[in-house]
A and B are shown apart, each in its own frame.
Chain A
Amino acid sequence: MGYISISRRQALGALVATLLVPVVGKEKAEAEVPERLQTLIREAIGETRPTVGKVKLTLPPLAESGNSVPLKLQVESPMTGDDYVKSIHVFSEKNPRPVIARFHLGPQSGKAEINTRIRLAGTQHVVALAVMNNNSAWLGSAEVVVTTAACIDE
């Protein structure tokens, strides 16, 4: 009995160790921005380095049709005269046109939240970049599995 439980523990330990390695690796990869989007981010904010955080994208984890996927954008900000979100850029990793939208807000917005519906050409990450009034930039992303892609010729 004792012999079995020790070996089970060891086996579990080894299993967890092998599982953990790819998980940690994946998280790192997710924090990195796909190369195609880096150019767009540079076009939007110049040489400023965006920080991951403050931007939350809510998308369904699975979308049956890529023609109309609901997207909610939320940016953490007090939206006061001296601390507000200036603009939010939405980028797609795989669409033929990577820029989806640019929104311009101000302190009068009161709340940095936008809802819309977007087209997605297949399973991918959607990235949002928020630029604050002090020109600091923040990134958020979400992954959607799309079963039927949009933008495909009919």
Chain B
Amino acid sequence: MANARIQVPTEIKRGQVFEVRLLIRHPMETGLRHDEVGKTIPQNVIHLLTCRYNGHEVFRAELFPGISANPYLSFFTTATESGELEISWADDTGQSEVERTAITVLP
């Protein structure tokens, strides 16, 4: 399961606004390209991505073919309690994946 990498600061203070950086391995196929026999390669992009922090949704993104292959995303959220950040996404083939990372909040 090395299809994605989440990066968060190692030490976060309670109430601190911190950056979540995310890199996913995915072709983000636009549906506009053709293969060598001229057949259209069907669109396959990650169309929905959700980030939950201890079960609460903190960020959601709807993505389209205008996002580059191997999408990179960074956004911010506020530290509340130690726990888990869970990022899940689904692509046009119906495949969905989840990646989690631990969050350590200093008092």
User: Within the assembled complex, what's the spacing in Å between the Cα atoms of A137 and B30?
Assistant: 29
Residue of A68, A100, A110, A153 with most chain B CB atoms under a 10 A cut-off: A110
What secondary structure prevails in chain B residues at the interface with A? strand
Say whether A58 faces chain B, with CB atoms less than 8 Å apart: no
Decide if B72 touches A117 in the complex (CB within 8 Å). yes
Complex interface: chain A residues within 8 A of B56 (CB): 108
Query: B30 — nearest CB in chain A belongs to which residue?
Result: A151
Interface size on A, residues (CB 8 A): 33
Kindly state whether residue A133 has any CB partner on chain B within 8 Å: no
- Kindly state the separation between the CA atoms of A44 and B32 in the bound complex, as whole angstroms: 25
Bits for A88-117, please: 1 = Cβ < 8 Å to B, else 0: 001010011101111111101111111111
Cα(A17)–Cα(B107), bound, Å: 63
Given known contacts A115-B73, A153-B32, A154-B33, is B78 in contact with A100 (CB within 8 Å)? Answer: no
Selected from A100, A101, A116, A150, the residue in CB contact (under 8 A) with B72 is: A116
Bound form: Cα–Cα A59–B71 in Å: 16
Number of A-B contacts (CB under 8 A): 95
A122-154, CB < 8 A from B: 150-151, 153-154
Pairwise interchain contact B17-A95, C-beta atoms closer than 8 A: no
Contacts of B102 in A (CB 8 A): none
Which residues in chain B, 31-65, are within 8 Å of chain A measured between CB atoms?
Answer: 32-34, 53, 56, 58-65
Evaluate contact between B66 and A118: CB separation under 8 angstroms.
yes
B93 lies within 8 A of chain A by Cβ: no
Closest 10 CB pairs of A and B: A110-B17, A100-B66, A111-B76, A104-B60, A117-B68, A68-B68, A102-B62, A115-B74, A110-B78, A111-B17
The residues of B with any CB-CB pair to A shorter than 8 Å are 17, 30, 32-34, 53, 56, 58-69, 71-78
